[in-house]
Amino acid sequence: MSTKETILQTYTADIVRTAEERSAVFALRMLVFVEEQGVPAEEELDAYDLTATHFLIRRDPAPDNTEGGIVGTARLIDKGHGAGKVGRVAIHIEHRGAGAGAKLMRSIEEVARQEGYNELVLEAQTYAIGFYEKLGYAAEGDVFMDCDIPHRLMRYRLE
């Protein structure tokens, strides 16, 4: 995707509402985490998927009527005491760096505020720490390994 195309791209974030959307976001997670990053398939989907709030980011149809579609996803888990955990953040490779991830995260934050959360935590892959820091998340603690990928805990206070 060229820079010019990236600038013209627009996205809409929402909560996953249908079985078709749920299947699509799970398929995207399998593509990003299992195929791209080598996470074992049996570890990608877990029991939290049954109770989490799932989000999607959809590419809006382009002015030339190029079809839109789901290009990103994440989930929010209630950890109790006003804390939510954001996880399984996945953006299709063709849409990374185009604003889809930031818009998805802001949508999650908005929903979390409406649901009464006062903070969000996430376990960021170390290569993505800069992305989350630009959104106001703060890294803390040591690097740890999850599925042989280095991660770090990050925290964001909701206002």
Residue keyed to tokens 């939510």: 84
* pTM, rounded to two decimals: 0.90
pLDDT of residue 84: 98
Q: In the β-sheet with 83-91, what is the strand arrangement from edge to edge? A: 11-15, 53-59, 69-80, 83-91, 119-125, 149-157, 138-146
Q: Please give the average per-residue pLDDT across 106-121, as a whole number.
A: 97
3-state secondary structure of 41: helix
pLDDT above 50 for 152: yes
pLDDT of residue 66: 59
Mean residue pLDDT across the chain:
91
Number of helices followed by number of strands (H, E) in the chain: 5, 7
pLDDT tens profile 24-41: 999 999 999 999 999 999
Question: Rounded to the nearest 10 degrees, how much is the dihedral formed by the CA atoms of 153, 104, 54, 156?
Answer: 30
pLDDT of residue 65: 57
- For 3-157, give the CATH class: alpha beta
- HSE toward the beta carbon, residue 57, CA cutoff 13 A: 26
% of residues, the chain, pLDDT over 70: 90
d(C-alpha 57, C-alpha 27), whole Å: 14
Residue spans per domain, the chain: 3-157
The residue with greater pLDDT, 67 or 97, is 97
